[in-house]
């Protein structure tokens, strides 16, 4: 099993997991295309002016170029073509090493995009640290020049030393995590167990890297029908961290494949936690099972010997018997399990187990991540 969580998280029986805070293994970033060709290898660039670029492998493990004690107006450049006019963001990782105080020490510089030359330069108070520099422009031309250059003071004098890697040009108003080519909606987020493919469908992405479910849309995370979710009448556990904005509609957390089979969600009016199954004639709910809007909530539901148990922030808050229906291979939906029943903010983490976690294990999983969410 491939998983990169805190060692205190329970992994026994885990068949599905994602964590949008785990950028190494799980959350890779919003779907996007990098219009800088051969961006990782950094081929196709020309030497701009002073100094000679030195190709090397950076401390980030990526190919890069460095200029060392080179005269001002040193750098590289290349032509970039975007598919249409509109808002685009240009970025690269830069490490300033040192140089003349008259020199800015390196930057992302865009020319010919339809307006005046525009740049973002390194923070020279952070020598030796990799910094991601970005420029966002409303481009009215589709072909222009992308520079990674260091300038200021006297050309050929006022030397600087700096390094660069991972250039990116992409649609949108902020820089997403680097991708060499295209990151599709099936590559945005990965199942940490390696058992399932996750498709990010119509989500809304924020500049801080989080994602949310847009109101009134079919937005969801979805995993195709899989034997991993064919529990039969056996025990299982569904867990999620959820931050709802409000309760102006039912807030779906997890559904197999929609509420006609199984759903874990919040009430339309007050955020009360519901689990639904075709085995019940009514929702499984108990007074006091209430999520809080605009903060993170940790919710776990287990089925153990035909009884459903629900936990909120590590504590048991209710149970319902006769949860005995059989689950065959099912499609997994997260964040939207029925028409216009969506999650307005975010579900940062979901785990599914093919067994019922004990009360102690529920508390263990809550305690493992509660500090991240301020609980």
Question: Containing H/E element for 296?
Answer: none
Domain boundary pick from 118, 140, 171: 171
Q: Which two three-digit tokens encode residue 216?
A: 């009134």
**CA–CA distance, 143 with 150 (Å, rounded to integer):** 22
In a domain, residue 256? The reply is yes
Do the Cβ atoms of 55 and 63 come closer than 8 Å? yes
Same domain, 196 and 139: no
* pLDDT tens track for 153-206: 999 999 999 999 999 999 999 999 999 999 999 999 999 999 999 999 888 888
Q: How many CB atoms lie within 10 A of CB 43?
A: 11
Q: Please tell me whether residues 233 and 252 are part of one structural domain.
A: yes
pLDDT digits (tens, 9 = 90+) for 262-280: 667 655 455 566 666 655 4
In a domain, 179, yes or no: no
Range list of β-strands (E), 122-244: 130-139, 143-150, 160-171, 182-183, 199-201, 204-205, 211-212, 220-226, 236-243
pTM attached to this predicted model: 0.86
Q: Does residue 342 have a pLDDT over 80?
A: no
Q: What is the CATH number of the domain that holds 250?
A: 2.60.120.200
Verify that 67 and 158 share a domain, yes or no.
yes
Domains: count for the chain: 2
Helix (H) or strand (E) holding 265: strand 262-266
Clarify whether residues 220 and 257 are in a common domain. yes
Q: Are residues 277 and 204 in the same domain?
A: yes
Quick check: is 282 in a domain?
Answer: yes
Asked whether the bond before 257 is cis by omega within 30 degrees of 0, the reply is yes
Q: b/e string for 189-201 if b means 16 or more Cβ within 10 A?
A: bbbbbebbebebb
- For residue 306, the enclosing domain spans 14-31+184-369
Q: What pLDDT, in 10s, does the model give residues 8-31?
A: 899 999 999 999 889 889 999 999
Residue 369, classed as helix, strand or coil, is helix
Residue at 7 is within a domain: no
Q: Are residues 221 and 162 in the same domain?
A: no
Examine the domain organization and report whether 272 and 337 are in the same domain: yes
Residue 298, pLDDT above cutoff 80: yes
Question: How far from 23 is each of 64, 176, 222, 245, 325, CA to CA, in Å?
Answer: 22, 12, 19, 24, 37
User: Virtual CA dihedral for 77, 81, 86, 90, nearest 10 degrees?
Assistant: -30
Q: Is residue 2 part of a domain?
A: no
């Amino acid at each position: 099993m491939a998983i990169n969580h805190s060692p205190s998280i329970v992994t026994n029986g885990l068949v599905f997991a994602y964590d949008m805070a785990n950028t190494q293994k799980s959350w890779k970033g919003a779907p996007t295309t990098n219009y800088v060709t051969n961006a990782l290898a950094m081929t196709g660039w020309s030497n701009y002016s002073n100094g000679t670029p030195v190709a090397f492998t950076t401390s980030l493990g990526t190919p890069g170029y460095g200029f060392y004690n080179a005269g001002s107006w040193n750098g590289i450049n290349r032509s970039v073509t975007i598919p249409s006019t509109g808002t685009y963001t240009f970025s690269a990782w830069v490490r300033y090493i040192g140089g003349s105080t008259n020199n800015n020490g390196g930057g992302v510089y865009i020319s010919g995009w339809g307006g005046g030359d525009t740049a973002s330069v390194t923070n020279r108070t952070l020598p030796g640290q990799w910094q991601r520099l970005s420029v966002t422009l409303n481009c009215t031309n589709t072909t222009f020049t992308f520079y990674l250059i260091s300038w200021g003071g006297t050309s050929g004098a006022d030397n600087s030393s700096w390094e660069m890697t991972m250039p990116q040009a992409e649609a949108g108003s902020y820089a997403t995590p680097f991708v060499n080519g295209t990151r599709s909606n099936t590559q945005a987020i990965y199942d940490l167990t390696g058992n399932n493919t996750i498709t990010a469908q119509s989500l809304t992405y924020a500049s801080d890297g989080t994602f949310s479910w847009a109101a009134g849309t079919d937005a969801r995370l979805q995993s195709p029908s899989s034997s991993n979710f064919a529990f039969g009448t056996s025990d299982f556990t569904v867990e999620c961290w959820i931050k709802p904005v409000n309760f102006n509609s039912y807030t779906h957390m997890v559904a197999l494949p929609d509420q006609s089979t199984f759903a874990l969600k919040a009430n339309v009016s007050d955020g009360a936690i519901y689990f639904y199954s075709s085995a019940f004639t009514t929702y499984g709910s108990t007074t006091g099972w209430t999520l809080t809007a605009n903060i993170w909530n940790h919710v776990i539901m287990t089925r153990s010997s035909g009884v459903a148990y629900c936990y909120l922030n590590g504590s048991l808050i209710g149970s319902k018997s006769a949860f005995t229906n059989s689950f065959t291979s099912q499609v997994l939906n997260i964040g939207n399990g029925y028409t216009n029943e969506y999650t307005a903010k975010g579900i940062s983490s979901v785990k599914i187990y093919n067994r019922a976690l004990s009360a102690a294990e529920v508390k263990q999983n809550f305690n493992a991540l509660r500090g991240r969410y301020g609980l």
